[in-house]
Structure 1
């Protein structure tokens, strides 16, 4: 039962549905008009049975169109419309009895079924339709010895229908392959675009966001803090005597130290609305949103001890045998667009104070509010 439901309601990719939507909408509108026209023609010719069949088919087509417009379930609409076409042409073939080459109209079934349903499901519909049609045309349409419907005629019908269905199947398979190639190309291009965007906003060495991304995000995060009534805390972190570290240990070891500090920042500042950045050189920064500014400030202040506890050797430091950092912290309790620039300014002043007072410490700006 579940497989049947999947067959009826399975949704495909966007390209599949968009293409099928255009086709099925045109087909439904066309069939509504044609079935309605056939109703009047058959009534005028006193072919009441045919009129009834036309009326039922028109009604189903109208129902399918309204259902598609309301539910947007393109796949189920296609299934309903295809069943309608299959049943209509089977009854039409039996009623017409192959007069006036009426069976030629059945060529529209595989065309419609495969174009709208896709090669696999369309082939299933086509095989079902022709399995019934061939039996009808062999046993119940006209009389063999009347001269109107010969065995060679039946063979021509089978052969022509088989060739047409095979051609439609190959056409749809080639079209699907072309679409798949296009989708893969789009996916690669999208992935490449994402990678380029990520490269443009991240620091290549540490993997942290860069100064450019900070400039983009600070205003957005301030607006978010304002909407949610949060404080926004900004800190600047500077590695103490890093030039001496590079001179003594070399730039490769210096890069390793920067990466370790970056890892600490990412691990320590990891909530969804908090961000850490490498501003340049040995300077890092972070943004923390919180309801309690004291807690956010304490959280940032802990970084001095955490980084010193890494015990990264720094023999040329003037304050410790290990790598240390100084931090300047500023908080805005009521961030506004016109005062967000104070955060960087006040945090930078606090960082200068921390360095002036001996480094390996954090200082909280008293100027922000």
Structure 2
């Protein structure tokens, strides 16, 4: 079928997809690792280097996943047999603690932005979770622990991505997402694996790597294809629709947007604790609205963004601020200048104090778009308020 690609063995495929030209993004060529790098040792080394701000992070941040090698599918079994005699014993209590901390830190980041307390999340990984990853556990506990750690590492990646747009933070986010994928794959958890791939796909969309984003979106959908979780399916289908829209593939974008709408409308079981489980109808309405905006259907885009704000509600300040910024932009494109400025005024009220690169980008975008209205006092006031928030 036109617009479709057939997935294969995804890890080498992803490595090929993200082996971007380092010279094009002013980053050095990464050094390839052995085929099976120890994931626990690698992610703890990454976290410690991040916290200590070692030169390692500056010298090797990049976008070639081949630097990490293949997931080691025997890793957990081997660790159950080789833990040191003095290692701590790990049970469901420790797994529950990791999940609880992921929720607490994730709630804070969703409210205040990824720039708040990112190093707290990384220190929790390197100081508290590290002894458990190297401890005594059964096969079942090991899989649960790796899955929970995958969520924590994914959160660290998301926070790095949301903190800023420097090459170092982009490289950190990519590496955390890649390690999250490896931990999830080694735990045998397809949902967490797909969610990590989604993080990489969204990062490619943000950086303008359109073909790579589509290919990662396809991998994400493939991993989640057999999940009995409609919200997760909607999450991944919308990711591919977004990537296709950015790639100007209207047919593919429309197809997968419809598939995501079908999935989000299905009844779901009790919400789990994964990122995909929290993909609410409100979040879907926001993402769909921006896909429709990209496709040029501004009326439908405005309707979906209102749906996100007014019907389903968005209780996190960061999320609400971004939706308001997007809605203001759509209204301006529709020619509704007064509506755009009223919406942007609400956006500025939400945005103050949030440390998020997406909010900062929205502030800058708004200021640029308002320059053409130099004779409108309200526009000047909004620009001045945005400048104060950005400083």
TM-score (norm 2): 0.26
Q: Which has the larger radius of gyration?
A: 1
More helix by share: 2
Higher RCO (C-alpha under 8 Å, 6+ residues apart): 2
How does the TM-score come out when normalised to structure 1? Answer: 0.27
